[in-house]
Structure 1
Amino acid sequence: MIKKYLVLFTLIHGTGAGAQTGASALTEQDFLAEMPIVLSVSRLAQRLDDTPGAVTILDRHFIRMSGARDLTDLLRLVPGFQTTTSFETDAPMASYHGRSDDYSNRLQVLVDGRSVYSGYLMGSSGVGLQTLALDDVERIEVLRGTNSAAYGARAFLGVVNIVSRDVRETIGTAVNLAAGENGVADAGARLGWGDSGAAYRVSADKRGDSGLRGAFGQNQIDRFHFSSHHTASGGHEWDVRAGGVDVDAGRGTPGDVGNNARMRYMGARFVQIDWRAPFGDDQDLAITASHTENKIADAFAYLTDAVGAANYGMPLDFSGHDVNDALTLQHTVRHSPALRSVWGTELRREKIFSRAYFDTREQVTTEYARVFGNAEWRILPTVILNAGALVEQSGLGGDTASPRVMLNWRLGEGHTVRAGVSSGFRPPSATEKFAAVRYYGVDGSLLQTTVQATGNIAPEYIRSQELGYNLNLPSAGISADLRVFNERVTDSIATVYNSDPIDFGNIDNYRITGAEWQWSWKPTPATHVFFTQTWTDIAGVAPPVDPFDTQGFRVSHGAPRYAGSLSVMHTFGSHVSVSMLHQRAEETALMSNGGTGPLYSMGRTDLRVGKTFKTGRSSTELALTVQNVDIPYRDGDRKFYFDRRTMVTMRFEN
């Protein structure tokens, strides 16, 4: 099937004439202009009002003024998103429209185009979200809605594209420090050197605190990142990136024999090479190769004689690691002034090593082959048709396909409506397909099998209908976007708790409906107001058949009925900046909720004031940030609370 579609896409995209279309022709000014250019929707560089979907962009200025210490903490301000800062089941994670289970595995997270999910953690991107320090991030592009038509299985509910700063713009040194309540102790440094032909950057940082009240242990994240950019004659460019992240965090509960308090390690290492070149004035070719390794070390003693006195204190080890290798080729063509297209293929191999999850010392290997294609056709000067599809073949889900069609109609200057249909898929993870969790006594005898996947499981699907409106009035400093959605999920994958041992299956068919919008106002270059609201209803989830089955309730109420945020930022002429960020979410479930347990609401307000001192080309900023000046709220688990935190930060750049 893959070969058949590859031939078809080659025939369609093989010819063209016109102007350069690839990202290599763009600068950061293009991406953050009055009408920003985005890459993460169709894989084409498109104006925001021409894209087949709703996009939120958080730029470097917004990130700095927010006072956030963690990228996940920024995503809570994006319409439709839910986040937690808890380390209990994963690193801090984000989800869209509520479906996350213990891991957020229905959201594609890209860091400079590299997918950062962990196969061992069932496709979660929690650790991947920690790849870059916030000081190294240029912008965050968030597509709200399924994008399997461009990126495949992991983009089931949306895409978060994290773009690092251009190496050529970070020549020099930078140091940042933070200290405050709750054990906050952060430090980072960056060094950049080179010229327009070859530029390099090395950065390292650590972030530590005492975690949420009620959670066990300290949390610390250590990062190292290297990035370089090279240019050659003929417009050829290539980037080399490498780095790693180490997460040491507490989890469990003291005295809980099945989940005793301990420290857990989660880490990742990667290397990535990107090469881009124009071919004439009408075509670009890009090739990306990456290697990623994720490792988990998690073990504790089973301090009970419930399985025999001889087995008291036996080790329970949930450690494992996975390896991802990916190769992507992407060809962009302008066929005429009215027609552009991009097509390509991705090959990926995922290997998981886990005696705990699969009861084998051998690796569990899955191979993926994808072919994708998207076209932008300007039917009329005011009407654009975006159409595309992706087909995928894998050992977990067989052959799957996800098409998308979206029509964008510019009613007038600054006013665009869009309407379309898209579909997405997610094959079962290796754990959901092959898991075999067995416990053995100290003498090697089998004590119990708690999980045994039968493999009788198919991919889950989503069909999304969307109506949107994009407003852009540069003269007034106003931009806005509205998304009205009807998302139907079928054959949703979940844990089958009423099976002994536990299995995985296609359990639910449900519908997610609602509306969300964002409004940005910049009356002056020094002022930014950002306002969002979301209304979400999830219906059709089957009631639980087992008292230990918490999934149905968490799916039905995983997204709040109403959520909103308001961010106000201003910089005075004296280089004093002030920020206020407020978030509200009503009637939502937490990660630990079971049965028909209570729903929770939360409110959070952050305040920040900073002062910048400039001396020549050097600048130093001192800032005071207070996170959650409101009452403590539950975060991720009913036992965990996010309390008020006050911290002082210092940032020096030269």
Structure 2
Amino acid sequence: MQRRLPIFPSLLGAVVLSQGAQAADEDIFFNELPVVATVSRLPQRLADAPTSVTVIDRETLRAMPIRDLNDILRLVPGFQTYPNTTETGRVVYHGLTDEEFSPRLQVLVDGRSMYSPAFRGGVNWALIPVALEDIERIEVVRGTNAVSYGSNAFLGVVNIVTTDPSLTRGVSVGVRHGNQNVRDHSLRVGGRLGEAGDFRLTYQHQNDDGLSNHWDWVDSYGKQLVDFRGDLALSNIDSLQISLGRVDASNQRGRLSFTAGQWISNPNNPVRAFEQTSMYAQFRWLRSLSGGGEFSLRYAYTQDEGDEGFDKTKDGMTYRYNPWGTTGQRHEVEFQHVFSLTQFSRLAWGGSWRRDQAKGETILAGQGWVGRNISRSFVNLEWKPLAYTTFNFGLAGEYDSLAGSNLSPRLSAAYHLNERNTVRFGASRAYRTGSIIDYRGEWWDGAKYQFAGNPNMPSERMDTLELGYLGDWRDLRMSLDVRVFHEKISGRLLEIDRDDQSNLVPNGMYPVQNIEMKGLEYQFKWQPWQATRLIFNQTFINTQAQYTEEALANRVSSLWNDRQDLYPVYQGVHDLAMQAAPKRSTSLFLMQKLPFNLEFSLAGYWQTASKWSINTASRAYHRYDVRLAYPFRLPGGQRGELSCVSQSINGDHAEYKAYGQPHDRVVERRTWLALRFDI
């Protein structure tokens, strides 16, 4: 039986004994209930927001024993992630994912979406254009938010807000070195921009050898980014935010084969680099209006590219094969107006237009640029007719030139029992459209017609009912956020091989499943002493799935027996849905100030078995990561920090491939030293 929290009691005892030797510099958890803006696009107290939100502040981010951005989400109830491997790291909520680049979770950086037409309409976490040190806070909406951010926010939103450049003046230099070839370097410069502005320019390079290889895998990971943000005050009421940058990342792909007594590159799946690039620019104009209102106008441009091309021989044919050799472009214009309707109501409304296009030598063969236009409008209303009630109503309409139109509503009601306790009920409907490739793909693998887009593919639909509770007990320095959810997905889209015996029947995207997810998740925060901060999360979820009529109708009779049992491809799809989310997951994060100005943090993660894709799985595992840091100040006033981080200190485990199977992807202990100087 897996042990539960085996080292926590002894650590807690050590914490208690150390309290008389130190004091905290500030109380970050319970000064006041946090204000969030991601859910409804209105600044709201957590108690007034229409769904559950996890806020990860700068102090928590700085103390976490991590170096990869996606690892932050391990600390959010209901989220799963795995490290960068031959595939880039992935983040999902409630386990609902595809084979690669999860397409149902919206990720924003300063308002710009990370969804990419080049990577099948999903998020490439290797190309997120922000260094951990530049993040001010992260707001995570746990539950659908299509009403505010469109079809890509089907399951939730991760909103990354970077630090105001006026707070990052001077020069900051950082380095991390450790085993598994961890070699990270960063340089940040901040200063004045003209007479009424500030800028921040960051360069970062990351490198490691990926996960350990226990069979025929090869692995490595590298990333570098240049990120610029400039904020200008145009007048007393007008400001302009400019963001520019580029990110390059590389994952090693391919397999080895054992030939003539040695491991060599597999000629049909050779060792190669998967190169990825993203370039972006964003301009956001903000005007402050009387009465606390504001108007904003934003334009963003992104170009992403992927390349893993190699010469492949199959069926007697030699040809260029590059399934991720795709270029994607996105232009987006969005406006938003926030104002007070009455003394008891506020409104956020706006609209956007987006142009996405992609081209690929393999997966969109012979079509050149393939594009789509998406326009949407949205409105969110907050109404507080009584001191102890808050109602939120939202509605969004979206038109997609490939997918057609949809309408997403949301309604929630919160009852404030008193200042410290709130009960909330919410209901919503959301839709998710597929990628350009899902609708228009054309892909041959030698003589095999590998994939054909489905121009009549419908949208996924999700209906959500949720019951929430928020306890904010500042006098006890505690808070508790509980979400009970019932999420019903109709027509879950997946790529299906309709006939694995014919070269002329291509795979396609079909609405193959109806999925029902029920469960409970909660987040508990406690600051028992000034120098101690604790976050504890748990999620319990049960998933059920049934095949849609269209999935059953698309079967090939020769692959079914007389009882019409599902053949193996469909069985794999069934297992992917039923086992995608761990039935139980837990995370713990402890921050502790120690004598001699030392800072200690511990992160623990426990998770039951799950499946990442049809062909990959993760058995139950537990993992502990620790960090010990010494912030210092030099005689000249310069500041710095020396820290040591060790991940998976309790030993090896697998988070991507099933441990003990022939193709293990093993997470071993990884330790590094980090040094930072702020000049």
Whether the TM-score (by the shorter chain) exceeds 0.5 is yes
Greater shift after overlay, 480-489 or 626-635? 626-635
The aligned residue for residue 303 of structure 2 is: 293
Give, in whole Å, the separation in 1 of the partners of 2:64 and 2:622.
16
Q: Structure 2 matches for 1:37-186, cutoff 5 A?
A: 37-89=35-87, 91-102=88-99, 103-127=101-125, 130-186=128-184
Equivalent residues of 2:274, 2:308 under 8 A apart? yes
1:649 maps onto 2:674 in alignment: yes
1:505 maps onto 2:549 in alignment: no
Partner of 1:523, secondary structure, is: strand
Give, in whole Å, the separation in 1 of the partners of 2:212 and 2:471.
42
Partner of 2:608, secondary structure, is: strand
Q: Residue 573 of structure 1: CA displacement?
A: 5.0
1:212 maps onto 2:232 in alignment: no
Equivalent residues of 2:92, 2:105 under 8 A apart? yes
Give, in whole Å, the separation in 2 of the partners of 1:599 and 1:627.
18
Q: Residue 88 of structure 1: CA displacement?
A: 2.9
Q: Residue 361 of structure 1: CA displacement?
A: 4.3
Equivalent residues of 1:408, 1:418 under 8 A apart? yes
Q: Residue 76 of structure 1: CA displacement?
A: 1.3
Give, in whole Å, the separation in 2 of the partners of 1:315 and 1:282.
58
Alpha-carbon spacing, 1:459–1:576, altered in 2? closer, same or farther (3 Å): same
Cα displacement string for residues 491-549 of structure 1 (whole angstroms, at most 9, x for unaligned residues): 11111222421111111111010000001112344321000000011102439934245
Aligned pair partner of 2:254 in 252, 255, 258: 252
The aligned residue for residue 307 of structure 1 is: 315
Q: Residue 414 of structure 1: CA displacement?
A: 1.3
Equivalent residues of 1:30, 1:36 under 8 A apart? no
1:581 maps onto 2:603 in alignment: yes
Q: Structure 2 matches for 1:89-488, cutoff 5 A?
A: 89=87, 91-102=88-99, 103-127=101-125, 130-194=128-192, 197-214=196-213, 215-255=217-257, 256-302=266-312, 304=313, 306-308=314-316, 311-312=317-318, 314-318=319-323, 319-439=325-445, 447-488=447-488
Give, in whole Å, the separation in 2 of the partners of 1:573 and 1:552.
53
Q: Residue 249 of structure 1: CA displacement?
A: 1.3
Equivalent residues of 2:137, 2:162 under 8 A apart? yes
Q: Residue 356 of structure 1: CA displacement?
A: 1.1
Q: Residue 128 of structure 1: CA displacement?
A: 6.6
Cα displacement string for residues 242-281 of structure 1 (whole angstroms, at most 9, x for unaligned residues): 0111001101212445533211101111000111112333
Q: Residue 588 of structure 1: CA displacement?
A: 1.4
Cα displacement string for residues 428-480 of structure 1 (whole angstroms, at most 9, x for unaligned residues): 2111111110245xxxxxx3311122423100000000000011122322112
List, as ranges, runs of 4+ consecutive aligned residues in structure 1 with deviation greater than 4 Å: 29-33
Aligned pair partner of 1:560 in 576, 582, 596: 582
Aligned length: 611
The aligned residue for residue 24 of structure 1 is: none
Greater shift after overlay, 272-281 or 602-611? 272-281
TM-score for the superposition, normalised by structure 2: 0.87
The aligned residue for residue 661 of structure 2 is: none
Give, in whole Å, the separation in 2 of the partners of 1:387 and 1:120.
34
The aligned residue for residue 641 of structure 2 is: 621
Cα displacement string for residues 110-131 of structure 1 (whole angstroms, at most 9, x for unaligned residues): 0001001111222211247631
Equivalent residues of 2:48, 2:414 under 8 A apart? yes
Give, in whole Å, the separation in 2 of the partners of 1:477 and 1:207.
38
Cα displacement string for residues 119-167 of structure 1 (whole angstroms, at most 9, x for unaligned residues): 1222211247631110111111100000001111100000000010111
Equivalent residues of 2:232, 2:240 under 8 A apart? yes
Give, in whole Å, the separation in 1 of the partners of 2:126 and 2:32.
30
Give, in whole Å, the separation in 1 of the partners of 2:536 and 2:385.
34
The aligned residue for residue 593 of structure 2 is: 571
Give, in whole Å, the separation in 1 of the partners of 2:358 and 2:124.
17
Give, in whole Å, the separation in 2 of the partners of 1:472 and 1:643.
39
Equivalent residues of 2:134, 2:162 under 8 A apart? yes
1:612 maps onto 2:631 in alignment: yes
Partner of 2:97, secondary structure, is: coil
Alpha-carbon spacing, 1:567–1:552, altered in 2? closer, same or farther (3 Å): same
Q: Residue 179 of structure 1: CA displacement?
A: 0.5
Equivalent residues of 2:584, 2:607 under 8 A apart? yes
- Report the residue type matching 1:566 in the other structure: L
The aligned residue for residue 13 of structure 1 is: none
Q: Percent identity, aligned pairs only?
A: 29
Equivalent residues of 2:589, 2:603 under 8 A apart? yes
Q: Residue 32 of structure 1: CA displacement?
A: 9.3
Alpha-carbon spacing, 1:108–1:590, altered in 2? closer, same or farther (3 Å): closer
Give, in whole Å, the separation in 1 of the partners of 2:30 and 2:175.
28
Q: CA RMSD in A?
A: 2.0
Equivalent residues of 2:494, 2:512 under 8 A apart? yes
Alpha-carbon spacing, 1:32–1:287, altered in 2? closer, same or farther (3 Å): farther
Q: Residue 221 of structure 1: CA displacement?
A: 0.5
Q: Which runs of 5+ in 1 are unaligned?
A: 1-28, 441-446
- Report the residue type matching 2:308 in the other structure: D
Give, in whole Å, the separation in 1 of the partners of 2:379 and 2:234.
29
1:630 maps onto 2:653 in alignment: no
Give, in whole Å, the separation in 2 of the partners of 1:478 and 1:205.
37
1:593 maps onto 2:615 in alignment: yes
Q: Which runs of 5+ in 2 are unaligned?
A: 1-26, 258-265, 500-504, 553-564, 659-663
Aligned pair partner of 2:544 in 539, 542, 545: 539
The aligned residue for residue 562 of structure 2 is: none
Partner of 1:431, secondary structure, is: helix
Give, in whole Å, the separation in 2 of the partners of 1:496 and 1:329.
39
- Report the residue type matching 2:399 in the other structure: Q
